[in-house]
Amino acid sequence: MDIVHIRASVPRRAAPLMIFLGVCVIAARAASAQELPSGPISLAGGRVMVGADVSFSTSTEKDDAAKPAESGWFNYTDYEHSTMRLARMGVTADVRITDRVSFLAEMRSENGDAPRPYALFVRVRPFKQRPIDIQAGRIPPTFGAFSRRIYGDGNPLIGYPLAYQYLTSLRADAIPADADELLRMRGRGWRASYRVGAQTAAPGMPLITAFRWDTGVQARIGPERLTASVAVTNGTLSDPRTKDTNDGKQVTGRLQWRPTIGLVLGGSAARGSYLADSTLAAMSLPAGAGGRSAQRAVGVDAEYSRDHWLVRGEAVRNRWEMPTLISSINASSVFVEGTYKIRPGLFAAARIDTLRFNRLTTPTQSRTWDAPITRFETGVGYYVQRNLLAKGTYQYNRRDGGLVRRRSLVAVQLQFWL
């Protein structure tokens, strides 16, 4: 398929995408007539539950490494895939060993890659009458709200919020020798390279990745109305690890409150060492060089639903410490999204999103260390059946830096889960 770039409006070249969406809906209706499963498959008398999540997306986006001047890489992820052109398949299993112990796992494949474990953990509930559970392994994220609602219809659009997906120019395995070198990488998060540490070019890190879960231990306490969680894990929000690359651990906490029906308020905080020991060794620094290699983040989130409306929003403030620079590297992100139910099975949604960076000053220049970006996305969705959803969206990106500073695109998606 020849992918084309579009401007602020949808040209006739985008018509094939609209046809594709129509075909998806027709095919989905036919599949619905065959009575697709509407929920997880139960085995062994209900002790084993097997589910699946399958989605196919395509768009007018063009990310071509051979022609970077024509590519924006706005939706690129740390797995080097675009969220707008993605075929994802996942299988989940929930095995209840006893009334207090269960095992949960998910294997996932994206764009034909080899399947990999996305979730793999044991959940223990020590007390029957008290709302306490402990999870160990590759566990659900503790920080923020969006990364825990990407399953099924949790994301009303196709793109992801910038804080959870957009790649900054920072890496865990390589760092700039000075501020000027960092500034030269503005808007180059899809392929950043530095003199200290790993010498090959590679993708940078988002503030929080929604595509890899944490590995460690998490404890959660409290009823649904007021819940507190704390976790100790490998890696950091930007770079979760199965096996840690340094001597540090990340500590994350979250408090969630439901003061009234329809309203959910949350707050999160995290701190961990993000730089690999190999990077510090390249600077002749000791492994785990204290707070000079730490990532710290705080976030707040809210959700309110009433009648046909559902409104959500999150704000994140993030800081990376870097041994080669005097100033810390800060980033902040805010997004607000709303969903309106037009009629049963049909909804419209929109999200406004921004990501900002602090300014660095050198003898020759004074600029934000990465290129500030704003994203707007809107679209419609139609439930062919309860767990079969077709979506079409329009997304506009604007960035103050990089080879491509503006990009508009149209995308369609068909998603099925059980």
Q: What is the pLDDT of residues 144-190, one digit of tens each?
A: 999 887 666 789 999 999 999 999 999 999 999 999 999 999 999 99
Alpha-carbon distance of 352 to 104, in angstroms, equals 34
- Least Cα distance to 350 among 145, 149, 211, 158 occurs for 158
| pLDDT per position as a tens digit, 212-251 | 999 999 999 999 999 999 999 999 999 999 998 888 899 9
Domains in the chain, start-ordered, CATH in brackets?
12-40+56-87+145-413 (2.40.160)
DSSP result, 36-81: ---SPEEEGGGTEEEEEEEEEEEES----TT-GGG---TTB-TTS-
Cα first-last separation, the chain: 30
Tracing tokens 């220049």 back to the chain, one arrives at 365
Question: In the prediction, which pLDDT does 128 show?
Answer: 86
Q: Answer for the pair 240, 212: CB distance below 8 angstroms, yes or no.
A: yes
| pLDDT per position as a tens digit, 312-366 | 999 999 999 998 888 789 999 999 999 999 999 999 999 999 999 999 999 999 9
Sign of CA pseudo-dihedral 358, 301, 413, 309 = negative
Q: Among 39-43, 109-113, 148-152, which is the least confidently predicted range?
A: 148-152
Question: In the prediction, which pLDDT does 327 show?
Answer: 79
Tracing tokens 């409104």 back to the chain, one arrives at 311
Segments of 60-178 assigned E as strands: 87-96, 101-110, 116-124, 132-139, 174-175
Alpha-carbon distance of 350 to 156, in angstroms, equals 8
Q: Is the pLDDT of residue 12 over 60?
A: no
Q: Both tokens of residue 300?
A: 């707040």
- Least Cα distance to 293 among 313, 277, 315 occurs for 277
Q: Both tokens of residue 307?
A: 């009648």
Average pLDDT in the 373-386 region? 96
* Amino acid (one-letter) located at 79: Y
Q: Answer for the pair 231, 216: CB distance below 8 angstroms, yes or no.
A: yes
Neighbour-count burial of 69, counting CB atoms closer than 10 A to its CB (0-12 exposed, 13-18 middle, 19+ buried): exposed
**H or E element at residue 319:** strand 309-320
Q: What is the DSSP letter of 15?
A: H
